């Protein structure tokens, strides 16, 4: 009991904002980048990549996220083979995309598809921060828009997990316009009375934060996720004062009325499942 209290104290001693996170090492043991707690990697995965010591939420790949949420064997991916062009002819952009494709085994920064949560149909989009920092270019915008259109056609709820540094610089103003493109689709979804749930994970910033991520019927976030529009450094330079440590964390947004809930990963599937149930059962 007393020991438990001490561990709990430690939980609040560190704040993850702004630090560079490492991927979970592939070794047998994994060391938490926050509290240095060492876990057997297999155990860590079983715990949905959450540190048992400090509850730090490790970044999740899109594949891991889908596995943790969608009923086994029910997921069908959409547009898996869609890839970016190089509209601004940016040097090195094609090579960088190619490198990320090899590294992540996915073709772009979002995976979309249809599946079931506890037997109920949903349309899902999961952003993947390992691919170009989850940044949104033409492909991310198009895949999300198409997924929303699928949700409209099949009259399912639309659920998105965001993880993004914002607009993709290398696609310039085309990236900016993806904010508008996904928004016109979301407006149509809303117009049909369909459910849209947004779950912001670390990090959700810039143009993604200022478009679909923030306009869910329900806006949720994972604990301590960095969420905001402008970068911390830019704000500090502009207003010439230091920002509080918890600035732009999920908890900060909750306090300022920007989120419905902060949801621990272990509660995620249950919460989403219940909400989907509330929206699909007993409708007249």
Partner 1 sequence: MAAELEFERPIHELEKKIAELKSFMDEKDIDLTDEIKRLEEKLSNLENSTYSEMKPWDRVQIARHAERPTTLDYINYLFTDFIELHGDRLFGDDEAIVGGVAFYKELPITIIGHQRGKDTKENLRRNFGMPHPEGYRKALRLMKQAEKFNRPIFCFIDTKGAYPGKAAEERGQSEAIARNLVEMAGLTVPVICVVIGEGGSGGALALGVGNYVHMLENSTYSVISPEGAAAILWKDASMAKKAAESMKITAPDLKELGIIDEIIEEVKGGAHKDAKHQAELIDQVLEDSLHSLLSMSKEELINQRYEKYKKIGQFGFVNDSIVVK
Q: Check binding of 188 to partner 1 (CB under 8 A).
A: yes
Among 117, 122, 179, 226, binds partner 1 (CB under 8 A): 179
Among 15, 68, 169, 262, binds partner 1 (CB under 8 A): 169
Rounded to a whole number of angstroms, the distance between the first and last alpha carbons of the chain is 49
DSSP string, 14-70: ---TTPPPPPPPSSSEEE-TTT--EEEHHHHHHTTTB-TTT--B----HHHHHHHHS
CB 197 within 8 A of CB 274: no
SS3 228: strand
Q: Interaction with partner 1 in 26-65: which residues (CB under 8 A)? A: none
Q: Check binding of 209 to partner 1 (CB under 8 A).
A: yes
Nearer to partner 1, 123 or 273 (CB): 123
C-alpha distances in Å from residue 52, one per residue of 31, 42, 214? 11, 13, 30
Q: Check binding of 178 to partner 1 (CB under 8 A).
A: yes
Q: Check binding of 186 to partner 1 (CB under 8 A).
A: yes
Nearer to partner 1, 7 or 235 (CB): 235
Minimum separation from the CB atom of position 211 to partner 1 (A) = 5
Measure the CA–CA gap between 243 and 227, rounded to whole angstroms: 14
CB 106 within 8 A of CB 66: no
Among 207, 222, 224, 275, binds partner 1 (CB under 8 A): 207
Measure the CA–CA gap between 81 and 63, rounded to whole angstroms: 15
Among 229, 246, 261, 264, binds partner 1 (CB under 8 A): 229
CB 166 within 8 A of CB 226: no
Q: Check binding of 73 to partner 1 (CB under 8 A).
A: no
Q: Interaction with partner 1 in 130-159: which residues (CB under 8 A)? A: 138-139, 141-142, 145
From the annotation, which residues make up the binding site for Zn(2+)?
Answer: 32, 35, 51, 54
Which chain residues interact with partner 1 by CB under 8 A?
A: 81-88, 90, 107, 138-139, 141-142, 145, 167, 169, 171-181, 183-188, 190-191, 206-207, 209-215, 227-231, 234-235, 238-239, 241, 243, 247-248, 256-258
């Amino acid at each position: 009991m007393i020991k438990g209290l001490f561990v709990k104290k430690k939980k609040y001693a560190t704040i993850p904002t702004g630090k560079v996170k490492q991927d979970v090492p592939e070794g047998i043991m994994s060391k938490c980048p926050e509290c240095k707690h060492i876990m057997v990697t297999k155990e860590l995965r079983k715990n949905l990549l959450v540190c048992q010591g400090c509850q730090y939420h490790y970044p999740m790949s899109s594949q891991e996220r889908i596995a943790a949420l969608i009923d086994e064997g029910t997921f069908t991916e959409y547009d898996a083979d869609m890839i970016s062009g190089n509209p601004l002819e940016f040097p090195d952009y094609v090579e960088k995309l190619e490198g990320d494709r090899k590294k992540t085994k996915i073709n772009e920064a979002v995976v979309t598809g249809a599946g079931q949560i506890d037997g109920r149909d949903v349309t899902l989009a999961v952003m993947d921060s390992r691919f170009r920092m989850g940044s949104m270019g033409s492909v991310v915008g198009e895949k999300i828009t198409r997924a929303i259109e699928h949700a409209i056609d099949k009259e399912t709820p639309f659920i998105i997990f965001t993880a993004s540094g914002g607009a993709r610089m290398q696609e310039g103003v085309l990236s900016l316009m993806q904010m508008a493109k996904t928004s016109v689709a979301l407006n149509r979804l809303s117009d049909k009375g369909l459910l849209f749930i947004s779950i912001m994970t670390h990090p959700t910033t810039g143009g993604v934060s200022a478009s679909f991520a923030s306009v869910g019927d329900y806006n949720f976030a994972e604990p301590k996720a960095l969420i905001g529009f402008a970068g911390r450094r830019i704000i500090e330079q502009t207003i010439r004062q230091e920002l509080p440590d918890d600035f732009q964390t999920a908890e900060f947004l909750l306090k300022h009325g920007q989120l419905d809930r902060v949801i621990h990963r272990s509660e995620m599937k249950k919460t989403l499942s219940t909400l989907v149930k509330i929206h699909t059962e007993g409708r007249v």
